[in-house]
């Protein structure tokens, strides 16, 4: 099996390559420099040369706040790029996985509720609108497709919320602030990659939500990180409005993973994923 992965230098792209390679798959994990999905002719040539049996489109413009100031480029990458890959997948009669986001929803459901796969999208940001545009291109142009919405993806490498919190502690901070009125699902890239691979084997085309299970606030995530790493840092609760952002995030970004669960594809609790990620980083002390 030959698996072409876009966003191959990102945290999910690397996790996907790690999942597929041990199974004997020939993996082409392409970064932007090797496969610019917005440039039709070179992209078509790369796909033709690699001749994939499966395309996993994990590449995207993901700087949510930065996207607000660059709408044209954001739509080129996230929507037009998806169109190109959808056409190429359909031409070759191979399935395509498109990784989308909880930002396609407005987040106005009350805390304790979750967005299921049949809820109507209503993005509040350029990023969310562009990813929804990509979804629409995939549905319209690729008959054999999986659209996988996820949330708050992180890994051992990079500089996401987890690394920022640990960096504060390493710098000697004994107290930090974190948002207490926005809910989500921290999703460990290794778990997400395993779930995507399972869905791609199912042959059950459609739209899925796939996150680590459970839900928490940013404050909860920070507190659990410090607890597992045995770091004496207190986390003060603050409202999301405290932080001025260009993009409006969904206040309740929690996704119900109904469709994947019906196929037997579920991911572990977010705390379990965090524990294993910290272990990978050499930062796990307890739990």
Residues labelled catalytic: 127
Query: Do residues 133 and 78 touch, judged by C-beta distance below 8 A?
Result: yes
Q: What torsion do the CA atoms of 250, 134, 78, 9 make, to the nearest 10 degrees?
A: 90
> How far, in Å, CA of 99 to CA of 134, rounded?
9
With both helix axes pointing from N to C terminus, report the angle between 270-281 and 189-202 in degrees, rounded to the nearest 10: 120
Closest CA to 121 of 209, 5, 28: 209
Q: Cα 17 vs. chain centroid, distance in angstroms?
A: 15
Cβ-count burial 4-19 (b if 16+ within 10 Å, e if not): bbbbbebbbbbbbbeb
Site of tokens 């928490």:
216
Q: Hey, which residues does 16 pair with through a beta bridge?
A: none
> Can you read off the two tokens belonging to residue 28?
């082409």
What is the pairing mode between strands 216-217 and 183-184? antiparallel
């Amino acid at each position: 099996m030959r698996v072409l992965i876009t966003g191959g230098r990102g945290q999910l792209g690397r996790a996907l390559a790690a999942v597929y390679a041990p199974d004997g798959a020939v993996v082409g994990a392409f970064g932007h420099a090797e496969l610019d999905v917005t440039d039709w002719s070179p992209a078509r040539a790369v796909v033709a040369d690699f001749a994939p049996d499966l395309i996993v489109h994990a590449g995207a413009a993901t700087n949510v706040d930065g996207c607000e100031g660059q709408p044209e480029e954001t739509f080129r990458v996230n929507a037009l790029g998806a169109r190109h890959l959808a056409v190429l997948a359909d031409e070759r009669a191979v399935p395509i996985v498109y990784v989308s986001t909880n930002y396609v929803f407005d987040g106005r459901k009350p805390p304790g509720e979750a967005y299921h796969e049949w809820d109507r999208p209503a993005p509040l940001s350029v990023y969310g609108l562009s990813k929804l545009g990509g979804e629409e291109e995939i549905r319209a142009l690729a008959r054999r497709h999986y659209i996988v919405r996820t949330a708050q993806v992180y890994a051992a490498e990079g500089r996401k919320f987890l690394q920022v919190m640990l960096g504060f502690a390493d710098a000697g901070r004994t107290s930090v602030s974190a948002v207490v009125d926005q809910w989500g699902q921290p999703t460990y890239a290794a778990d997400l990659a395993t779930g995507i691979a399972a869905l791609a084997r199912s042959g059950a085309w459609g739209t899925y939500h796939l996150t680590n299970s459970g839900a928490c606030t940013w404050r909860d995530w920070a507190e659990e990180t410090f607890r597992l790493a045995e770091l004496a840092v207190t986390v003060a609760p603050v409202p999301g409005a405290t932080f001025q952002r260009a993009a409006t995030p969904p206040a309740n970004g929690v996704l119900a993973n109904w469709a994947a669960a019906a196929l037997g594809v579920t991911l572990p609790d977010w705390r379990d994923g965090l524990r294993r990620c910290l272990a990978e980083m050499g930062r796990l002390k307890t739990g």
